[in-house]
A and B are shown apart, each in its own frame.
Chain A
Amino acid sequence: MHEQTGPVARIPLKGQTANILLLLMLLIGLLLSAKPGHALESTAGSPRIIYITSDTRIPFWNVLSRGIHRQATALGYQVETLNAQNNARTELELVAGAIRQQVDGIIISPTNSSAAATLIKLSAKADIPVVIADIGADSDRYVAYISADNRGGAYAIGTILTRALEQRDWQQGRVGIIAIPQKRLNGQQRTAGFMQALDEAGIQNAAMRQQVDFSHDETYRFTRELITTVPDLRAIWLQGSDRYQAALDALADTGKQDDVLLVTFDAEPDFLQLIPDGVLVGAAMQQPYLMGEKAVMALHDHLQGKAVIPEQKLPVLAISADNIGANLALIRRNVLGLETTP
């Protein structure tokens, strides 16, 4: 949990009155201080933002949280990250607590899009704006929904994989998928983009396994099942990156590490080495750090009374050994959040 103390924030008021007041305060700040860039630095009385994430143990949400903290702090907000621990009750309790605290805004990476609808509903009832960061929401009453272009990213990594298969003349082989829950909108979009790429290349999908508990054992088991049940299996696509090691272990244990290619969606720090080494053919890398920043900006703009684009799709970086070097800085900041210092 990160608690940031930012500069004195501008009081987020709605409408023209708020704008006028904000302008007056800025002018006063400029007159009293020669450092207008730090004028927003403040502590007590700053507007508060709560970020509720489904599970901070997952690196993706952690990186996203850092992006939120960096941007919120920069804008003078107090920000707090709360971990729902992938539990709906906890998630609800956190939202209820935020409502009771009468925070100024909530950014949520919900456990699922359905739960997000309830969270948005409860917040809306309390007149607290909500920005959804990734996952999605079965509601349109959010201020903004910041997401990755899952379909485009999946399509791109699918294209990298099909090229790799063609290079190896394995286009007759089939591809297995270990998917995140397809109930999630991002899961559905990823599958669709990837399948489009396979279809365009004339490569068949062999089978799909859907993750439930996201454990190492689960991914390992699914990988082995695909290997054993699909004789002509030539590639496996992991729709999530966190259990890539389980897949590698299964390939190694089955002796298929040279016969079956592995691609992922999302990225881990180790990928900076595994992709150049050819262990992984490639990965479609979301930019969670950037997503966090965009979420704060959307909430901020809303509180400032500005128009906000309700749905913002951030590009997904399709990284292979061929382009990893050129995108390394971008990967480190926006994907892995390694070079950001609050």
Chain B
Amino acid sequence: MIILRPKKEFKAPIIAECISPDVFMGKSIDEVAKLKVYEGNKERTLGELFNFSYEKEPEDKIMIIGDVSKVRKIGFNMRKGEIEVKGDVGMHLGAEMKGGKITVFGSAGSWAGSAMSDGLIEVHGSAGDFLGAPLRGSTSGMSGGTIVVHSNVGDEAGAYMRDGSIRIHGSAGQFLGLRMRGGAILVLGDADSRAGAFMTGGRIVICGTLRSLLPAFTIEGVRPSIKVGPEKVSGPFYLFVGDLTEGGDGQLFVSKVRNPHLSPLVTKVMAGE
């Protein structure tokens, strides 16, 4: 295990795609210290920015201790091994990740797990916007793997998701599961409005309050409980289907108890049927 400690408080953004077990594996500390990173527009070596220490076991693990909230692309494209961060971490954490595990005891910036296809990211603090979502213009969202965030997340979490699962213990921002096609998102807290916008498939479960429901969703019924991955979450839940304007049949489960503001609509529609 290689342990990294930042030498100073960073100001300019650090782009450090090389901080990944795939890259570190088989390299000596000296070799690792020579890896290139960018601090703003200046090319630096990892050794100029971080102090290193080494522990024998486990071999494929990287631990970062300290505030690396300016450090971006940690674990980019990683395939195996483990990264543990004790402190806040910057954008693009585990972006395009294909395997392995990242644990953050702190908060993560935006685009954590962006377009990941496998592996596990667990953030014990909060996460920024675009959790698991691809970069602008791309429609290839998360296609596998798991993201767990223990606190809140920003807007557009799980956008363009095709498979895999996201579990949010806190609340979620707007446009949760935007243009989602598959996979599952579970929110234990509340969700801001516009959940499921443009969704065509997949499953969103909101255990708290949904601020408002989009007009292009229709009520399908009430379900006592719902399975998300291996886990059974008990409700009861309203089941809405949408986004109808996209011809979609994504499922949006919303806690019945926590969302009394939806009950007049549900009652009206069910009575009409």
Note whether A and B form a binding pair.
no
On B, residues with C-beta under 8 Å from A are none
On A, residues with C-beta under 8 Å from B are none
